[in-house]
Structure 1
Amino acid sequence: MGSLRNPIGPLPSSIYWRRRAVAVVIVALLALLAVWAFSLGGGDGDDRGDSGRGGPDGQGPTDSITPGPTTSEPPNDDRPGGRDEVDGGAGSGGGGDDEGGGDEKDDGGGGGSEGGADGGALSGSGGNVTGGDAMPAGDSLPVCAPGAVEVTLTSVKNDYAPDETPRFKLTVKNGGGDDCRIDLGRTATVLTISDTDDGGGDQVWSSADCPPSRAAAYVQVPAKGSTVQTLEWNRKASEPECGKAPSGAVKAGTYLAKIEVEGLPAKQVSLSLTKD
């Protein structure tokens, strides 16, 4: 014990005490490091254990990301501007509402498709196709045989006041058992108006004088049925090759309207333009 209190050696005792103090400090530091290392190692093990216990058989984490609420809605099937709807009666018969025919207010005239009005018998200078149930026909239909069809022309009214436009019904009847097509274009079908008051029957207007087109305009004629077009004349005169005709309406009197369809007998009907 005496050696501990009074160190023995060649050096002064104060040096030995300093050495002992340093050794004690080192031992204390080592002890603190050991405690800190032990506590750190135990915490990591617990964390790993908790993670291992979360998954099946302790294999890896099982925590997953839970998606939040979604705000998506079912896609809208309706396209902008509304749904596309097909009218079962459009373009056929009197129930169709094709362009130009559905809203037409015609004395005795049916609505529906204009059926080849572009380039038809009366479209263009001084005349027009205003309605009817005629439907355009494709090349798949055979051309109507002359012996299977016949045409008739009637005037909507017998007498027309000065403010009224003369209108006619062109009817094509098919007596055959199959649908067929007939050309009502300018080169195949011609309507003429003649003045009969002078006795000579002078022609005053013709759909062939200034046609906007000479292309064919086929329309369908159903088997054992008929197709109708409503035609009108604007009461003016015309000249061949789009020549300059007298301006204004023709005079009052009795006139004869005649329809000529290529390959078929011509048909005609009279009408009267009354005075004021």
Structure 2
Amino acid sequence: MLEPIGPLPPEIYWRRRALAIGVAVVVVVLFVWLISSLGGGDSPETANTAVSADVTVPSAAPTSAAIDTGVPGQNNTDSTPSAQQSSSPATTNGQQPVAVTPGQCADQSLAVKATVEHPTYRVGEKPKFGLVITNIGTTQCERDLGAGQQLFVYTIDGATRLWSNTDCYPPTDPLIKSLKPGEQALYSVDWSGTTSQPECQGERVAVGPGAYTVVAQLGAIKSTPEPFNIG
């Protein structure tokens, strides 16, 4: 049965058989080599994976430590402020914040001006001064215009304080006034033309002829000096 049968010469059939056997051998060899290659590659890949895992796991530790220490400047979205921290008032430079009464006129919302009825007075006359307080803000507000309302007389250069309306007659009762935007409160004071000191200390002396200025003040708000003369 191994003898080739057919119309062609026998050597032709032998060559075809040899070629088929050779191809089959090559295929088997390639298959064995491929299986061997795949089986031997498992170890390096596994080793690389293990090394990669060793490097990745420690990297999580610094991140966790940074959150736990609460370093300033780092955001920790998982943390929750304690009740003690939440109830503590905010401070500025270690000091408690100053409470602001709702509806009260802030200093920056008020303007203060001093006025003089006449530019010149004779010696012995009583100059009449005015104090004008204007709400320059955009909302209605109220302010105590009594206790902090003051007028001062200085020499023309402002170097010497001569008199204040609160030295001998300090205000005792509050005077709460509500001011709309642009609304003014006007007050007038007569000056005796004599000097005075805080708490009405010392002798009161009549001032002589010369040039002077008067300054109005409400709390910490001061007006510009208004000049007048005594002659």
Q: Which has the higher helix share?
A: 2
**Normalized against structure 2, the TM-score is what?**
0.49
